[in-house]
Amino acid sequence: MKLPKADRVGRVSVEEALTERRTVRSFSSKLLDVRQLSQVLWAGQGITGAWGKRTAPSAGALYPSFLYAATGRGTAAGIEPGLYRYVPEDHSLSIVSQRDIRGELARSCLSQTWMARAPVSLVICSDYGRITGKYGERGIRYAMIEAGHIAQNIFIEAAAIGLSAGIVGAFIDGEAIKAMGIPQSHTPLLIMPVGYKG
């Protein structure tokens, strides 16, 4: 599913977005606009330059990160419930499953049930194999640092377009992978519920 082109100009300064950024754990049931979803995904992993270079830096430009979006009936008009993988190459969403996994995902996060009330949860995963070939064990460190950059981009973009985000690192890896039904090689590193602050 092709996403609307992400805006390159906003109405909020970087400084204002940085000041606004806060971990939010309470979301309203207000629907998102598909353009908002497009914007936060692009901020996380969008392609912005030659050779596929992205919004977030990546050691050796190897891009081991994968960004998933878990949606439900109350996410955005035109977006079916399910799990999607963001495809930076053509700024699209690729369907992984048609199940709303937000509740199960929240349970995998030591039952942080507040997460399931966000219209969408973005999951930053890393395929370490894509980076350890070049950097060995150190590649794992680089992959984790990269996930942090992606998360901050999402935080700042959310703040810039009037949304809020949470960030969750406390989950059982195996349970999160099972909830998502993704390959074992896509290690989840951070989960970010995104929506309007409630």
Task: Look at residues 92, 85, 112, 94 and name the one whose alpha carbon lies nearest to residue 175.
Answer: 112
Answer for which of 19, 23, 29, 94 binds ligand FMN (CB under 6 A) is 23
Q: Which is nearer to ligand FMN, 79 or 146 (CB)?
A: 146
Burial class (CB within 10 angstroms; exposed 0-12, middle 13-18, buried 19+) of 163 = buried
* 21/35 with CB nearer ligand FMN: 21
| Distance, first Cα to last Cα, the chain | 29
| Strand 65-71 versus strand 82-87 pairing type | antiparallel
Give the residue at shortest CB distance from ligand FMN. Answer: 169
Q: Is 168 in the site for ligand FMN (CB under 6 A)?
A: yes
Position 170 contacts ligand FMN (CB under 6 A): yes
The contact mask relative to ligand FMN for 88-127 (x = CB under 6 A, - = no) is ------------------------x---------------
Pure H helices in 23-120: 34-45, 102-108
CB 62 to ligand FMN: min, Å: 22
**Residue 183 phi, psi (nearest 5):** -60, 145
- Residues engaged in binding ligand FMN (CB under 6 A): 22-23, 25, 112, 167-170
